[in-house]
Amino acid sequence: MASLYSFICYHHLLLFLLAAAIAAALTTRAVADDMTHLHFYMHDILGGSNPTAVEIVKGPIALPSVPGINFGNLIVIDDALTEGPELSSRPIGRAQGFYMSTAFQEASVLLSVNFVLAADGPYNGSVVSVQGRDPIAAPVRELSVVGGTGQFRMARGYVLWKTHGVNDTNDEAILELDVYLTAQVP
C-alpha cells in the first residue's frame, strides 16, 4: 500500500514540476516578445574643431593607473548616434547627458544620458534614459535603461555598451550600443 501511495505522490510531483517548467518557459517567451532591440553607434568626440563632448570640471586627483584621467572629471555630451560606425552613416539621434570619473582604482565613469531618437525615424522623437557605471576598459559593459518618453514611456531594460574603436586625430571614441527594453506603449 505504501508503494502505491509513494508512486501517486511521485507522479503528482512530476506533473507539478512539468507544469511549473512550462509556465516559466511561457512567461520568459512573453517577456522576450515584448522586448525592443535597438542597435546604433555613438560618437564621443573630445577634440578637433567640432567636439561633441566637453570637459567642464577637471578633477583634482590624477589617477596613476590611467594617464589623462582625473578622479572627478565631468564631461557633458551631445554625441551623434548613427546607424553604422562611420560618423557619416545615417543619423539615428543624439546622446545628451554627462559622465564623471568616479573611481580611484580604474577608469570608470558614472554615466547619465538620454538617447534622443530622430524625429524622422521609426521612434519619432522618443527618448530612452540610461544610467549606470561604465568601467571603460571592460570589453562589454552593462548599463540600466531607467525610463523614457514617447514610444518608450516608462521603459526598463539594459544597454550592452562596447568600445568599437578610437580615432586619435580628434579624440573620438566610437561606441557600439545594443539597447534592450520594454516600455508601456502610449
> 4, exposed or middle or buried, with CB in 10 Å at 0-12, 13-18, 19+?
exposed
Task: Provide the residue-wise pLDDT of the chain in tens; the chain has 186 residues.
Answer: 455 444 443 444 333 333 333 333 333 233 456 899 999 999 999 998 999 999 999 999 988 777 778 999 999 999 999 999 999 999 999 999 999 999 988 889 999 999 999 978 789 899 999 999 999 989 999 999 999 999 999 999 999 999 999 988 888 999 999 999 998 766
Specify the pLDDT at position 4: 46
Contact 146, 129 (CB under 8 A): yes
What whole-number distance in Å separates Cα of residue 83 and Cα of residue 63? 34
172 close to 136: Cβ distance less than 8 angstroms: no
Structure confidence at residue 23 (pLDDT): 36
Report phi then psi at 8, rounded to 5. -65, -45
Residues contacting residue 176 through CB under 8 Å, at least 6 positions apart:
39, 41, 85, 161, 162, 163, 164
d(CA 144, CA 113) in angstroms, rounded, equals: 11
Question: pLDDT digit string (tens) for 80-117?
Answer: 999 999 999 999 999 999 999 999 888 899 999 999 99
Residue 32 confidence (pLDDT): 54
Distance from the Cα of residue 27 to its chain's centroid? 24
Q: Give the residue extent of every domain in the chain.
A: 1-34, 37-182
Residues forming a β-bridge with 129: 114, 147
pLDDT of residue 185: 67
Q: What is the predicted pLDDT for the residue at 19?
A: 37
Q: What is the pLDDT of residue 66?
A: 75
- pTM listed for this prediction: 0.79
Which CATH architecture fits 37-182? Beta Barrel (2.40)
pLDDT at residue 120, rounded to an integer: 83
Instruction: Please state, in angstroms and as integers, the Cα–Cα distance from residue 104 to each residue in 29, 137, 179, following that order.
Output: 42, 14, 28
pLDDT computed for residue 122 by the predictor: 81
